[in-house]
A and B are shown apart, each in its own frame.
Chain A
C-alpha cells in the first residue's frame, strides 16, 4: 500500500513540476556572425559625425530577442544587426527570433531565471510597465535627450514612455485600425461608404438582404472583437469614459453609458446577423476572417493596418482590384453633443525595443547600454531599414514618412492616424495583464450573447479595481 501511495504521489507530482520545471528551451540562437565585411576595414561607419556615445572597443556580446520569424521582417531586422556588427566588429549581437505565439511567456520565464536578453521587443502598454517595475528595463530618458535619434512621431514617444520615463525605441511602425471593404461588392450593390453609424447599419442591412455577411470577424482571438467595442466606446465618448474607467476614479466605470452603448450595439448587430455564424470559433491566427473576405461571403472587416501587407502578400492583384478602406463611422448623436470623433484605435510604435543592461550588482551597465542605444536608434530605424519596411507596406513611426505613400489604402490609414486627436492603444495591450484576460473573455461572452453589457462592465470593473490595488 505504501508503495502505491508513493507512486500516486509521484504521478500527481508530475503535474506540479510542469510549472516549476519549465525552462526556456526551444530558442535556437541565430548568431549572424558573417557580417564583418569591408566597411569595417575602411573605418567609415554610418554613425560617423553623429552625436552618439563612444562605444567600447573591448569585446562585447549582446543578446537580442525579436519575433521576426518570417520575411520580409526577418531579413530586415537581421540586416540592421549585420550593418551594426560590420561597423563595430568587436561587438557581437546574438540575435534570436522567437515565435510570436508564446513570446510573452518565454520572456517571463527568461527574466525569472536570470537569462533575460539585453534587448527585447514588446508591444508597450501594461507589460512594459511591468518589465520596468521589475528591473528589466533601462530608463533611457536622459540618453534620448542627450544623443541623436530618429525623429519619432509624438504618439510613438508617448507610447514608449511610462511614468514620464522613456523605456523603448520604436521599430516596427505605425498601425492604424480601420474598416477594410470589398469595393466590387459595394459598387455592384450601389453602396456608398458610410460616414455615420446609422449609415453603416443601413449598408449592413442591404448587404444582409443580398445574403452577404456584413462584417468578417474571427472572434476566437478575442482582440478582434475588442476592436468593435473599442471603436464604439471611442465614438460615443472620445477618450473620456475609457480613461475614467481605467483609473476607476471620479465615478469612472466600465458600466458608464459609452460601454453600455458599445455592448448593446454589438449584441444588436450579432442578433441581426451582421457577423458570421460561429464567430467565437473562427480564429484570426489562421486568417479565417480574411478567408471570408476572399471568397466574397463577407464585405467588410474592421482590422489592423497590417492587413494591407498581409492581403497584398496573398494576392496583390486581387487586393488592388477589390480592397478599399474607410474609417470607423461617426456617432452623429455624440458628435452633436461635442464628443470628438477623431479618436482612433491603434498603436504608434507597433513594437518597441527595450534594453536590459544591468551588472550583477544591479547597477546600469552603461557600456552595453550605449551599444544597445546605438544599435536601436541608428541601425534599426536607419534609411535602409525604414525604406525596406516602407516598401512592404509598414509605415515607420518617424516624421515625414507619411508623405509619399503610394498605396492608397495605406495613405488613407496613415492620414487618419495623423489627424487623430488621440490614438488609443489596443485595450488588450494597454490594460494591466490580469484585466486584459478578463476583457478578452468578456468579448467572447458579449459576441456570444452570454452576458449583458452591464454584466461584462461589472466584471471588468472588478478586475480593474483588483489590479489597481496591487
Chain B
C-alpha cells in the first residue's frame, strides 16, 4: 500500500516536471521551429527548383542546381576565400585576444581602462566599422595613403581595398580588429574561472608567474580555446555583413565569400533557386567542417 502511494507520488512529480518542462520549452521551440528549422528545410526545398524568387511558378528541376554547384568554380573560389579567412582569423584573433587577456589579467584593476578601450571595437556595428575603414583606407585622402604621403614626402597611393590580393587580407585585418576584443573578454572570463587556490598553491610551491602561465593557466584554458576556435571558425565561414559593406565581394570577386555570393545570386540576379542551393551547400560545408574540427581537437572537458 505504502509502496503504491510512493510510486504514484513519484509519477505525479514526474508528470508535473514534464508539464513544467513543456511549458518552459515550448515558446523557445516554437520560435526555433519558425525561424530556424522551417527556413532551413525551405532552403533545401527551394534548392530543387528553378525559381527567380518572385514568380509564382517554380519549375522543379531535381538535383540540377546541385550539379551546377559542384561544378561552379565561383562557389569553390568563394569557399577558398572563406577558408583563408577562417585560418587567418583563428591565427590572428585568438592568440591576440589571449595575449590581451593575459596582459589584463596580470595587470588587475589598474588596467581596467584598457579593458574598456580594447572592447570598444566589438561594440560597434559591422556596418559602421565597414564605413570607417573604407574611408580610412581610401586611396584618395584616406588615412593610410595620407600618412604614407606625409612620411615619404611625395604623393603615394596605398591601394588596400581596390586590388587583389590586398583586399582579402585587408578585410581579414579589419575583422581581427573587430573580433579580437570578443575573444579577449572570453579569455578574461576563462582566467577568472581558474580557482585562486590553484594559483596560490603554485606560488607557494615556488612557481614564477611565467611558469604558472605556461604550465598551469594556459593548459587549464584548453576547453575555452576550443570553443573560441569553433566560434571563430563558424563565424568566418558564414561571414557577410562587413565584407558586403566594404567591397561587395570585389574587386572582381577576389573577396567573394560564400555568403556574399549567395546573396548576389538570390537577390540581385533573380536566381533564388540556385542561391538557395549555395546556402544549403554552405550549411553542409560549415556543419561538416565544425564537426570535423570537434572530432580532431578533442580536449578533455574536465580538470
Interface of A with B (CB < 8 Å)?
4-5, 8-21, 104-105, 108-109, 111-112, 116, 127, 130-131, 133-136, 219-220, 222, 276-283, 286, 288, 291-292, 433-434, 436-437, 441-442, 444-445, 448, 450
Contact = CB atoms under 8 A, between A and B. Distances in A.
Contacts of B264: 437
* Residues of A contacting B: mostly: helix
Chain B interface size range: 35 or more
A112 B263 CA distance: 15
B159 interface: yes
22 contacts: A8-B230, A8-B290, A12-B290, A15-B234, A15-B259, A16-B39, A16-B279, A18-B238, A20-B39, A20-B42, A20-B46, A108-B54, A109-B267, A111-B53, A127-B270, A130-B270, A281-B159, A281-B251, A291-B140, A433-B269, A437-B268, A448-B163
A448 B164 CA distance: 9
B54 A19 contact: no
A74 B158 CA distance: 39
A135 B141 CA distance: 47
A116 B53 CA distance: 12
A292 B250 contact: no
Interface in B215-265: 230, 234, 237-238, 240, 247, 250-253, 259, 262-264
A19 B262 contact: yes
B40 A13 contact: yes
Given A8-B230, A14-B238, A16-B283, A433 B270 contact: yes
Contacts, number: 170
Contact of A21 (B39, B262, B275, B287): B39
B267 A281 contact: no
A444 B250 contact: yes
A222 B276 contact: no
B201 to A, nearest CB: 32
A15 B286 contact: yes
Given A12-B237, A12-B283, A286-B135, 10 more contacts: A13-B37, A16-B279, A18-B240, A111-B54, A134-B54, A277-B159, A281-B161, A434-B271, A441-B250, A441-B253
B36 A108 contact: no
B53 A112 contact: yes
B162 A448 contact: yes
Contacts of A11: 234, 290
A452 to B, nearest CB: 13
B116 to A, nearest CB: 29
Nearest to B276: A19
B268 A104 contact: yes
